[in-house]
Structure 1
């Protein structure tokens, strides 16, 4: 009997030790007492983890007896911790009040789809580069946004000039003219105004960069065949924000910038001012610059007016002046003589005035009217040739967003006027061109269930474009559809596709390389048309308390019909014409992110791109396009204290326009930043292994008097070291 009694006691103890308990919590925002959905609740040291529901509640089961630590996390809020001893008796849910994090991180809201949804609930696939990464890349290159985009999977910043260092953006292997660049939703960087655009967009006032890959013409019209890159500016808050940056590099670049913003009850403001100075730099001592002598200045004030809680008016004006001189370094430093005469100057003035009016007709309904006027003037000079042109662009858009219980509908229209005028040119070569567009669009987003969300849209554009040689009217009907399916808390998938178009333009990556010399006006060239889509699978999970893993696999396809190609006649003149042979790009992108204890972050991205132009003879692969690219980055960060990172990038072989293949290459970078209160000091070593094109073959051919230049396929300036100071008040 005694043995049986002891055995029963042991069994009771064992059952008690391994008893399973439940816990119910409700997560709320402490500031406004509203429920927080998708907050992460986990039991430390176990695999018990789940997300809060729409009403903020979560039920945790299978919790063992004893003292347990419950962690509650949500983006933009401080982590909360509960210490509870189980068994635990509760009659109602424990209320968890989340306090906003000091760094004011917020849930990622995308504006490029016009619905202002969180990125997790947007059927259209949108990639975001957030403020933290923008701030990090600004340390590397405060002058412009090229570094932000260069290191993104599936995007390439293609240098188009050996002496001026001008560049364009390629998405999924397609030429830069197929990517639409926006600043706060304004299309001010198209056609001739795309010249020097990447070099004239500063990153200091950016809050977020949104990237939509694949045809996006339904909401954005012409030029969004490969995708859209939208640079989103910061908006003022009640707490004043004032920051300064001073940067110096070993290649002779100096950057001095400031950004300030604050909101009052009825008025707010933001102000960006940036000056960049670059000395002429010749790294390989061949007498020709890899980096031109440059003086840039940008000032961008914005005024925010709040007549009521429902109304906001924003008035802004961005002005940029840039002077760049490259070529023979002796000419730049000492002037022309008998042996040194080649130079290339680029002088540009860009001014963009904007006006936004927003009115909330209901809690979630929004009427929005926005208009802009853009003036861009650029002059190019080389020996015995000058090019001068002015581009005028006006853009007006009006839209209304109606939000229902499980649906949102946005409809609107826009008017676009774009005119280019060349100055001081003989009539036969005068490149004047005007495009006028009137469009109407509608988009419907429908949450069919918690798992399935659909988005469909339709645009109709009437386009009239003309010059002295011809006039063309075209109508484009552009449908687009996308879907998001959430399998569970870990797996989700998006698929989408649509049509697109691009009106004719003389200003492409190829024509930029010869400064538009002997380029004939457009004549009977029609718009290019496209169709394509993307599909992806996402996975994210907490491996344990300290490890987080996310993974994305995306596939893409785009086909361009009626594409325009550059032709050369027997007299050496260049012209554009349409071809029946298509251009198509297909491939996939793989992205993975591993986070350890919120301090160590490992990023890996791989891009495979197979892009071909059927009109090309012999080798149809699109030029200056690597089939394989690999991005690797390891970052250590201790919040508001210290960060450092190591990056590595592999680029596969590329075909040049002469059908030769380049070498594959690696490049590596290192950065570090230390924060001392309101002051931070940063250093950066970009391409510290000194990968550059002149190590394989001289970029410059011929004599100093009549040089020619190879296609640019990798770094020309070699390694770059820079460091500086930032002050945030």
Structure 2
């Protein structure tokens, strides 16, 4: 009996051994019929896989008999699934044609470094927030880009008003005035507009966001000490795009918006239109708004002209009108009475006209002329006080890009005029201030080898700033250098540094909190100066065919000298002075990403920031700045079908201006989106655990008639639920 069983086992083993098949596949592009290399062929459930060679061929061995499912994948192409029954008599390789994906993964091109290189070949460290993530964050807050920045490692959005929810952004822990905000390379959001800037940039027309951290004045002049954030708009393609969004939240916000773009050989256009409505919202029932009553309207048309293959002309005009009223909710709804009188209004009009001319002087050379004029009017009112002003900004930049065999050379010049005029104020107290800047710059990006690339630049700025009380002219020489080392296909490193400066301004996060009341005009205040740099290490690898891992470790340091500090005299008036004691910010950021089968994506980011101002007494830590922040996000996505995500954020203790420390806190969010053809439905739960400052201590102090407000260090509005519909045609 044992002999029979042994003979049967031997027969089964021999039969199984022979029931293994080899199979040849030839993978091609369906459109061009070109062979595709590096395509992956996976036999589902067996662990068998193969990759195509340069000729598009692959051979899979040891395939068991029976029905087998072949999964064919290649980056930038739609996945294809084929079911075959083995054994198969094969006289020639099976040809498989892959269709290019509509969402083809193109190389990321960055424009903020002016060279328009791919991000992997740019020595300057540039972080990008790409369209997919912008789209996700737009579901959470369609009105503006604050959510996109708030949830990025190393960046924080600092609320500056308890009742009107005005905000600015911080990079590397430094005050918002040290970060240059750009829209398509135009600086239209600084100075008097800073407290409302990120609240008036909608995400609906963005293709990507580019972030350069550390001193960047060599690229963009004054105000880029902490870094640059460039919001890059979509450009029209021959295939028309029409996007519409309708969103509603439990806190009383309604968003209705649309974006359209299309081009042909000679002409193209894009159009953004967005309206936002916010009802006054008082979550803690203290009679004061956490979210103000708001009416926003944005209209941004662009005309693209292509006279020939070498020339592009873009003409645009962005108009935004915003009315925000916060404070005592009884005043907002019913008007003032004996017991309810406090309010805070922010009414603004912004109009930015732009012209962008590009001419290709050779196959790879480019002449570019950019000019813009920005008008920003803002009226702030509280009981018995109002502040009204107009900010004019004119910007012109001419540059020439010359591409050689292994070099990119840029030469350019620009002129900037910025003027603020306070309305309805006596001449001796008017906060009028003007700045004129003439700059020259040059930059060389040199590919010394495939593995070592060097970028160096130099800017010279002649700056005059003045008002009724004083005039000052300064000359700045701003060098910068960055290097990219590619150790192999998995490891790389970037290191860079430079100088920066910031011309004087009255409009900071601190002065925003008291609506510039009792603030004296600038007098004998000079520009702030800085130096600093960043260094990082990158690692990226694939584990089998299903896993992808990337890791980035970045270190930063910035030192600001001749800092301007806000002081108060014995009469209660505020003024700015320079101090010789420096501000220093140092720390590191850690980012990791794990992707499984392109469906599961895990992101983790940690930021350690140790920023101190030597002029601060007793406690020198920068106020409202946590030393430790942790960002976590898990996303599951089935392309053009559905996506769900869970996020968690930890914020460490912070020092307030009264030297007290806040509590650390966690916040969590959830989002889901389902696609039905051209329509998608989304829901979002932001801060669903209801982390809220008023749970620790009331934000409002004193009476209804004369309230004061604590520094804002976490959410004031609490949990937020919203949902909506998007239509893509």
Q: Does the TM-score normalized on the shorter chain lie above 0.5? A: yes
The answer as to whether partners of 1:51 and 1:489 remain within 8 angstroms in 2 is: no
Q: Distance in 1 between matches of 2:100 and 2:328?
A: 55
Q: Distance in 2 between matches of 1:167 and 1:98?
A: 48
Question: Deviation digits for residues 279-334 of structure 1, max 9, x if unmatched?
Answer: 00000000100000000000000000010011110000000000000000010001
Alignment of 1:499-538 (within 5 A): 499-538=499-538
Q: SS in structure 2 opposite 1:355?
A: strand
Question: Deviation digits for residues 618-658 of structure 1, max 9, x if unmatched?
Answer: 00000000000000001010000111100000000000000
Report the counterpart of residue 74 of structure 2 in structure 1: 73
Alignment of 1:233-244 (within 5 A): 233-244=233-244
Report the counterpart of residue 713 of structure 1 in structure 2: 713
Report the counterpart of residue 205 of structure 2 in structure 1: 205
The answer as to whether partners of 1:502 and 1:528 remain within 8 angstroms in 2 is: yes
Q: Distance in 2 between matches of 1:338 and 1:427?
A: 35
Q: Distance in 1 between matches of 2:51 and 2:384?
A: 70
Report the counterpart of residue 704 of structure 1 in structure 2: 704
Q: Distance in 2 between matches of 1:481 and 1:683?
A: 45
Q: Distance in 1 between matches of 2:625 and 2:178?
A: 15
Question: Cα distance, 1:364 vs. partner?
Answer: 1.4
Report the counterpart of residue 359 of structure 1 in structure 2: 359
Residue 167 (structure 1) aligned with residue 167 (structure 2): yes
Residue 454 (structure 1) aligned with residue 454 (structure 2): yes
Question: Cα distance, 1:427 vs. partner?
Answer: 2.4
Q: SS in structure 2 opposite 1:195?
A: helix
Report the counterpart of residue 108 of structure 1 in structure 2: 108
Q: SS in structure 2 opposite 1:488?
A: coil
Alignment of 1:561-640 (within 5 A): 561-640=561-640
Report the counterpart of residue 269 of structure 2 in structure 1: 269
Question: Cα distance, 1:103 vs. partner?
Answer: 2.4
Residue 380 (structure 1) aligned with residue 380 (structure 2): yes
Report the counterpart of residue 256 of structure 2 in structure 1: 256
The answer as to whether partners of 2:50 and 2:60 remain within 8 angstroms in 1 is: no
Q: SS in structure 2 opposite 1:143?
A: coil
Q: Distance in 1 between matches of 2:282 and 2:258?
A: 30
Q: Distance in 2 between matches of 1:486 and 1:225?
A: 27
Report the counterpart of residue 680 of structure 2 in structure 1: 680
Q: SS in structure 2 opposite 1:332?
A: helix
The answer as to whether partners of 1:276 and 1:294 remain within 8 angstroms in 2 is: yes
Report the counterpart of residue 291 of structure 2 in structure 1: 291
Q: SS in structure 2 opposite 1:136?
A: helix
Report the counterpart of residue 555 of structure 2 in structure 1: 555
Report the counterpart of residue 195 of structure 2 in structure 1: 195
Task: Sort the Cα spacing of 1:366 and 1:59 in 2 relative to 1 into closer, same or farther, 3 A.
Answer: farther
Q: SS in structure 1 opposite 2:465?
A: strand
Task: Sort the Cα spacing of 1:476 and 1:179 in 2 relative to 1 into closer, same or farther, 3 A.
Answer: same
Question: Cα distance, 1:140 vs. partner?
Answer: 0.4
The answer as to whether partners of 1:240 and 1:263 remain within 8 angstroms in 2 is: yes
Question: Deviation digits for residues 104-136 of structure 1, max 9, x if unmatched?
Answer: 442211111111111111111111111111011
Alignment of 1:10-159 (within 5 A): 66=62, 73-74=74-75, 76-78=76-78, 99-159=99-159
Q: SS in structure 2 opposite 1:331?
A: helix
Task: Sort the Cα spacing of 1:43 and 1:561 in 2 relative to 1 into closer, same or farther, 3 A.
Answer: farther
Q: SS in structure 2 opposite 1:430?
A: coil
- Computed over aligned residues only, the root mean square deviation of the Cα atoms, in angstroms, reads 3.0
Q: SS in structure 2 opposite 1:192?
A: helix
Q: Distance in 1 between matches of 2:81 and 2:121?
A: 28
TM-score in terms of structure 2 length: 0.91
The answer as to whether partners of 1:46 and 1:544 remain within 8 angstroms in 2 is: no
Question: Deviation digits for residues 134-168 of structure 1, max 9, x if unmatched?
Answer: 01100100000000000000000000000110000
Residue 247 (structure 1) aligned with residue 247 (structure 2): yes
Report the counterpart of residue 659 of structure 1 in structure 2: 659
Task: Sort the Cα spacing of 1:59 and 1:280 in 2 relative to 1 into closer, same or farther, 3 A.
Answer: same
Question: Cα distance, 1:31 vs. partner?
Answer: 6.3
Report the counterpart of residue 6 of structure 1 in structure 2: none
Report the counterpart of residue 400 of structure 1 in structure 2: 400
Question: Cα distance, 1:361 vs. partner?
Answer: 1.2
The answer as to whether partners of 1:518 and 1:573 remain within 8 angstroms in 2 is: yes
Report the counterpart of residue 7 of structure 1 in structure 2: none
Question: Cα distance, 1:59 vs. partner?
Answer: 11
Q: Distance in 1 between matches of 2:628 and 2:275?
A: 37
Aligned pairs, how many? 703
Q: Distance in 1 between matches of 2:48 and 2:417?
A: 58
Q: Distance in 2 between matches of 1:726 and 1:427?
A: 51
The answer as to whether partners of 1:665 and 1:691 remain within 8 angstroms in 2 is: yes
Report the counterpart of residue 341 of structure 2 in structure 1: 341
Task: Sort the Cα spacing of 1:704 and 1:693 in 2 relative to 1 into closer, same or farther, 3 A.
Answer: same
Q: SS in structure 2 opposite 1:369?
A: strand
Task: Sort the Cα spacing of 1:245 and 1:502 in 2 relative to 1 into closer, same or farther, 3 A.
Answer: same
TM-score in terms of structure 1 length: 0.91
Q: Distance in 2 between matches of 1:229 and 1:365?
A: 26
Q: Distance in 2 between matches of 1:469 and 1:59?
A: 77
Question: Cα distance, 1:177 vs. partner?
Answer: 0.2
Question: Cα distance, 1:362 vs. partner?
Answer: 1.5
Question: Deviation digits for residues 30-75 of structure 1, max 9, x if unmatched?
Answer: 76799999x67688888999999xxx78999xx885569896633x
Q: SS in structure 1 opposite 2:284?
A: coil
The answer as to whether partners of 1:169 and 1:176 remain within 8 angstroms in 2 is: yes
Question: Cα distance, 1:378 vs. partner?
Answer: 0.1
Q: Distance in 1 between matches of 2:560 and 2:397?
A: 27
Task: Sort the Cα spacing of 1:491 and 1:83 in 2 relative to 1 into closer, same or farther, 3 A.
Answer: farther
Question: Cα distance, 1:98 vs. partner?
Answer: 6.7
Report the counterpart of residue 9 of structure 1 in structure 2: none
Report the counterpart of residue 478 of structure 2 in structure 1: 478
Q: Distance in 2 between matches of 1:49 and 1:498?
A: 47
Q: Distance in 1 between matches of 2:324 and 2:522?
A: 28
The answer as to whether partners of 2:295 and 2:323 remain within 8 angstroms in 1 is: yes
Q: SS in structure 1 opposite 2:697?
A: coil
The answer as to whether partners of 2:35 and 2:56 remain within 8 angstroms in 1 is: no
Q: Distance in 1 between matches of 2:419 and 2:459?
A: 23
The answer as to whether partners of 1:47 and 1:544 remain within 8 angstroms in 2 is: no
The answer as to whether partners of 1:24 and 1:57 remain within 8 angstroms in 2 is: no
Task: Sort the Cα spacing of 1:606 and 1:96 in 2 relative to 1 into closer, same or farther, 3 A.
Answer: farther
Question: Deviation digits for residues 464-511 of structure 1, max 9, x if unmatched?
Answer: 110001111111111111111111111111111111110000000000
Q: Distance in 2 between matches of 1:100 and 1:316?
A: 33
Moved over 4 A (4+): 27-37, 39-52, 56-60, 63-72, 79-85, 93-99
Q: SS in structure 2 opposite 1:386?
A: strand
The answer as to whether partners of 2:355 and 2:372 remain within 8 angstroms in 1 is: yes
Question: Deviation digits for residues 653-695 of structure 1, max 9, x if unmatched?
Answer: 0000000000000000000011111111110000000001000
Question: Cα distance, 1:363 vs. partner?
Answer: 1.8
Report the counterpart of residue 302 of structure 2 in structure 1: 302
Q: Structure 1 regions of 5+ residues with no counterpart?
A: 1-12
Q: Distance in 2 between matches of 1:215 and 1:330?
A: 46
The answer as to whether partners of 1:429 and 1:518 remain within 8 angstroms in 2 is: no
Q: SS in structure 1 opposite 2:439?
A: strand
Report the counterpart of residue 390 of structure 1 in structure 2: 390
The answer as to whether partners of 2:391 and 2:421 remain within 8 angstroms in 1 is: yes
Q: Distance in 2 between matches of 1:321 and 1:499?
A: 36
Question: Deviation digits for residues 343-375 of structure 1, max 9, x if unmatched?
Answer: 000000000000000111112111110100000
Q: Distance in 1 between matches of 2:433 and 2:51?
A: 58
Q: SS in structure 1 opposite 2:196?
A: coil
